[in-house]
Structure 1
Amino acid sequence: MYRPVVMKAPLFAALDEETADRLMDSMTPLRLSRGEVVFREGDPGDSLYVIVSGKIKLARGSGDGRESLLSVLGPGEMFGELSLFDPGPRLSTGYVVSDTELISLGNDALRRFLGEHPEVAMQMLAGLAHRLRRTNEGMSDLVFTDVPGRVAKALLDLSDRFGRRTEDGVAVTHDLTQEELAQLVGASRETVNKALADFAHRGWLTLGAKSVVLLDTDRLRRRAR
């Protein structure tokens, strides 16, 4: 039932249908509600996860109690696999953003599977490289792009992955609170809210509860540069 979604994950992308089905059958399903934690920063990294439905956010904490939101992941995306290639404690905490279904696979079982299907390891490394590229872009944005530009870029990224085309524009149910959206762009909630209000005043978007409708993506793209 959820196979078309799961097949998007790097773990499955190189597999034929029969092999993919066998791997899915060997994985453990999980159902979690908003606010629950998949794993915490510092926990042993002993398994990876594929999102079937819902959203997960990965965040890192600081010594003074603040958090930095690293990424928001949705259906067909994978997380937790870094521990397979670099054994050690988790580097982030995985929070459930909206009611979520996951399937997980322990590292021991995954290593055995990769021994039989080495081509999958290349797909997984490609997925990690893509995530690293996005992280590097985010670090550059913090240095070279102002807050409104970062907000515009974050909204466009969320729309690419979670957006739905409507008569009015691109409806994006991101499920993030104002504080979480601010953490995602590395700014204060007040500054981010000011940028969103300005975009709304210009007619580029309309704001909703944990959602937004992008009315003028061309202007948002120009502002994100």
Structure 2
Amino acid sequence: MDSQVVTKAPLFSALDRAAAERLMDSMTPHRLSRGDIVFREGDQGDSLYVIASGKIKLARTSGDGRENLLSVLGPGEMFGELSLFDPGPRVSTAYVISHTELISLGNDALRTVLSEHPEVAMQMLAGLAHRLRLTNEGISDLVFTDVPGRVAKALLDLSDRFGRRTEAGLLVGHELTQEELAQLVGASRETVNKALADFAHRGWLILGAKAVTLVDLDRLRRRAR
């Protein structure tokens, strides 16, 4: 497990190296495969999780069974911490979308950490505020931005966290199905596929299996506005 990746999470960022390593040693490791579920919507929240490697998607299900993909998280990111500040059932289901390593900390142990290191609470609240800001932006995009613009913005966001430079461009191994990518931008699969095909035709990107190579970032950024 890469400790340098893990300590990027807000839970560790306010701690010195020795305190961060002690906390990491006290946490429970988990190794999961694609399709595994960390927790389900409605479960009682009793732990937070930090991603050491791999990817997790957070999704909600409507009353008629439709699924809404809220976010895709990767190494160094944290989830499940809302249950500490707002005790109650989980508001989403956490699915594993690639081989993933996690470490978890129970709420009781976390409260002890926060009492000993109150600066950690400020970092965690800052992380929650950032996530809330992204949620508000997503709501605005659904109202004011067309589907191609939302697709471009989603690809750029995924590239910031999962992109890897290659000779062809910025390779983004998002590992999402076409349906999952459509859920992420709040549109039908057909409309999202049409937007992707148009971007590919224009030479802005190269489509792959659960991956995309971004070739013209400037044009994608302008389209995302």
In the superposition, the TM-score normalised over structure 2's length comes to: 0.99
The equivalent of 1:52 in structure 2 is 52
Structure 1: give runs of 5+ residues left out of the alignment: none
Once residues 18 and 65 of structure 1 are traced to their aligned partners in structure 2, the CA distance between those partners, rounded to angstroms, is 46
The equivalent of 1:109 in structure 2 is 109
- How do 1:132-147 and structure 2 match up within 5 A? 132-147=132-147
Once residues 196 and 139 of structure 1 are traced to their aligned partners in structure 2, the CA distance between those partners, rounded to angstroms, is 22
Once residues 157 and 104 of structure 2 are traced to their aligned partners in structure 1, the CA distance between those partners, rounded to angstroms, is 26
- How do 1:76-115 and structure 2 match up within 5 A? 76-115=76-115
Number of equivalenced pairs: 225
Provide the secondary structure at the position in 2 that maps to 1:98. Answer: coil
Once residues 167 and 36 of structure 1 are traced to their aligned partners in structure 2, the CA distance between those partners, rounded to angstroms, is 34
Q: CA deviation digits over 1:121-156, x for unaligned, max 9?
A: 000000000000001000000000000000000000
The equivalent of 2:220 in structure 1 is 220
The equivalent of 1:194 in structure 2 is 194
Provide the secondary structure at the position in 2 that maps to 1:90. Answer: coil
The equivalent of 1:207 in structure 2 is 207
What code does the residue aligned with 2:38 have?
V
What code does the residue aligned with 2:22 have?
R
Once residues 170 and 115 of structure 1 are traced to their aligned partners in structure 2, the CA distance between those partners, rounded to angstroms, is 43
What code does the residue aligned with 1:146 have?
D
The equivalent of 1:120 in structure 2 is 120
Q: CA deviation digits over 1:153-179, x for unaligned, max 9?
A: 000000001001112210000000000
* Residue 42 of structure 2 is aligned to residue 42 of structure 1: yes
Once residues 203 and 64 of structure 1 are traced to their aligned partners in structure 2, the CA distance between those partners, rounded to angstroms, is 39
Once residues 200 and 128 of structure 1 are traced to their aligned partners in structure 2, the CA distance between those partners, rounded to angstroms, is 35
Once residues 10 and 67 of structure 1 are traced to their aligned partners in structure 2, the CA distance between those partners, rounded to angstroms, is 28
The equivalent of 2:130 in structure 1 is 130
The equivalent of 1:65 in structure 2 is 65
Q: CA deviation digits over 1:40-93, x for unaligned, max 9?
A: 000001000000000000001100000100000000000000000000000000
Once residues 169 and 208 of structure 2 are traced to their aligned partners in structure 1, the CA distance between those partners, rounded to angstroms, is 13
Once residues 113 and 171 of structure 2 are traced to their aligned partners in structure 1, the CA distance between those partners, rounded to angstroms, is 39
- The list of structure 1 runs, each at least 4 consecutive aligned residues, that deviate by more than 6 angstroms after superposition, is none
Once residues 139 and 36 of structure 1 are traced to their aligned partners in structure 2, the CA distance between those partners, rounded to angstroms, is 29
Once residues 93 and 156 of structure 1 are traced to their aligned partners in structure 2, the CA distance between those partners, rounded to angstroms, is 24
What code does the residue aligned with 1:88 have?
G
Once residues 74 and 26 of structure 2 are traced to their aligned partners in structure 1, the CA distance between those partners, rounded to angstroms, is 22
Q: Cα offset for 1:218?
A: 0.3
Q: Cα offset for 1:193?
A: 0.3
In the superposition, the TM-score normalised over structure 1's length comes to: 0.99
Provide the secondary structure at the position in 2 that maps to 1:148. Answer: helix
The equivalent of 1:156 in structure 2 is 156
Same amino acid, percent of matched pairs: 84
What code does the residue aligned with 1:45 have?
G
